[in-house]
């Protein structure tokens, strides 16, 4: 990360979506096996493992070789022009990425030292074809007529990265840092007794364009700040459960699921990669606009489910 010796007045940058997460592990080949079973499409490029989904993104998950750990979280900005202005305001020189898709990148450290990459101008590949579907039948709507449904046993198909959750040392400090730079809107703030906020689910401000209930969540911890989990959207519920079966057959470590969250409403299924990083499959989440405002909810709702098993740490 190259820093200039000066900054200009703070610039809030328009973010299109969450972009990627980066990890470091000692055995990229084992990570490749896991990511294939998880439903991503990995390939090695210049000693790094880049894994894409079916959506129009060059990569969602990146693996570097080294001591195990979480490396970085990425956001995608609207344009290179905005990114350059943002970099100038932060005193950071934008750098050309030598990765699939190229593009320009500004890197920052948040208050807990998490590396945040803001990218723009990437050469986005075309989206890949979604698996065929013959529709769903329910008591309100019959979509599949005179056709049988056959899923096969291929596992899940990850389409995109949906959100990342970070455990932070001071929620209010981190919240201010992210909101002042990226314009996040609180969907649900988590409050303990006495009304103190200890975390929040944050969504991007896309005006009237619907966006995920949260693309980033911050939760204050009394332990060491660190990566909590990253969540990848799959095609639908059938796809999610097919992923559950394949990951189980592969002998990977299940963590929590299958269930439906209360906050965000996603159907979820959490797994551990070989180094204990938690990755989530999800589908059918809430979509909100800027006009939908914010809520404050009790801490009891933080990990609450509408159905499914209780959290493993409950």
Q: How many helices (H) and strands (E) does the chain have?
A: 4, 20
Under a CB-based contact definition with an 8 Å cutoff, are residues 185 and 203 in contact? yes
Q: Identical fold at 15-120 and 158-307?
A: yes
Q: What is the mean pLDDT of residues 111-127?
A: 98
Summarised one tens digit per residue, pLDDT across range 193-212 is 999 999 999 999 999 999 99
Tell me which fold the domain 15-120 belongs to: 2,3-Dihydroxybiphenyl 1,2-Dioxygenase; domain 1 (3.10.180)
Q: What percentage of the chain has pLDDT greater than the value 70?
A: 97
284 in helix, strand or coil? coil
pLDDT for res 77: 98
25 closest CA partner among 62, 68, 57, 54: 68
Q: Find all residues with CB under 8 Å of 10, minimum gap 6, and list them.
A: 89, 180, 181
Domain residues of the chain, as ranges? 15-120, 158-307
Would the pLDDT of 222 be above 50? Answer: yes
Summarised one tens digit per residue, pLDDT across range 247-289 is 999 999 999 999 999 999 999 999 999 999 999 999 999 999 9
Helix, strand, coil % (nearest 5) of the chain?
A: 15, 40, 45
pLDDT for res 7: 61
Domain 158-307 coded CATH 3.10.180.10: yes
Q: What percentage of the chain has pLDDT greater than the value 90?
A: 92
**DSSP letters spanning 68-85:** SEEEEEEEEES-HHHHHH
**Least confident stretch, 50-59, 121-130, 133-142:** 133-142
Q: How far apart are CA 294 and CA 297, in angstroms?
A: 10
Give the model's confidence band at 8: pLDDT under 50 very low, under 70 low, under 90 confident, else very high: low
Q: How far apart are CA 79 and CA 27, in angstroms?
A: 35
Query: What pTM did the predictor assign?
Result: 0.95
**Nearest 5°: phi and psi at 242?**
-60, -35
pLDDT for res 1: 47
Tokens describing residue 74: 């990425």
Would the pLDDT of 6 be above 70? Answer: no
Q: How far apart are CA 217 and CA 186, in angstroms?
A: 9
Q: What is the mean pLDDT of residues 8-18?
A: 88
Q: Find all residues with CB under 8 Å of 186, minimum gap 6, and list them.
A: 175, 200, 201, 202, 294, 295
């Amino acid at each position: 990360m190259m820093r200039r010796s000066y900054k200009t007045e703070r610039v809030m940058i328009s973010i299109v979506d969450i972009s990627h997460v980066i990890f470091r592990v000692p055995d990229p080949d084992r990570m490749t096996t896991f990511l294939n079973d998880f439903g991503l499409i990995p390939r090695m490029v210049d000693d790094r493992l880049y894994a894409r989904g079916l959506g129009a993104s060059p990569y969602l998950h990146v693996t570097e070789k080294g001591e195990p750990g979480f490396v970085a979280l990425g956001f995608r900005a609207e344009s290179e022009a905005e990114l350059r202005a943002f970099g100038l305001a932060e005193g950071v020189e934008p750098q050309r990425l030598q990765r699939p898709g190229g593009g320009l990148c500004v890197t920052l450290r948040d208050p807990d030292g998490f590396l945040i990459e803001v990218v723009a101008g990437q050469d986005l590949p075309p989206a890949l074809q979604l698996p065929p579907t013959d529709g769903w039948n329910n008591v309100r709507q019959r979509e599949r007529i005179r056709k049988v449904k056959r899923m096969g046993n291929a596992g899940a198909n990850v389409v995109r990265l949906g959100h990342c959750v970070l455990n932070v040392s001071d929620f209010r400090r981190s919240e201010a840092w992210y909101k002042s730079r990226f314009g996040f809107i609180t969907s649900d703030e988590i409050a303990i007794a006495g009304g103190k906020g200890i975390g929040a689910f944050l969504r991007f401000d896309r005006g009237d364009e619907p966006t995920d209930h949260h693309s980033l969540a911050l939760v204050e911890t009394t332990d060491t700040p660190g990566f909590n989990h990253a969540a990848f959207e799959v095609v639908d519920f059938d796809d999610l459960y097919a992923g559950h079966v394949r990951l189980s057959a592969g002998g990977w470590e299940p963590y929590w699921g299958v269930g439906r969250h209360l906050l965000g409403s996603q159907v979820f299924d959490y797994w551990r990669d070989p180094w204990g990083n938690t990755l989530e499959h999800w589908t059918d989440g809430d979509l909100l606009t800027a006009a939908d405002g914010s809520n404050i909810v009790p801490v009891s709702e933080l990990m609450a489910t509408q159905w499914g098993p209780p959290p493993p740490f409950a």
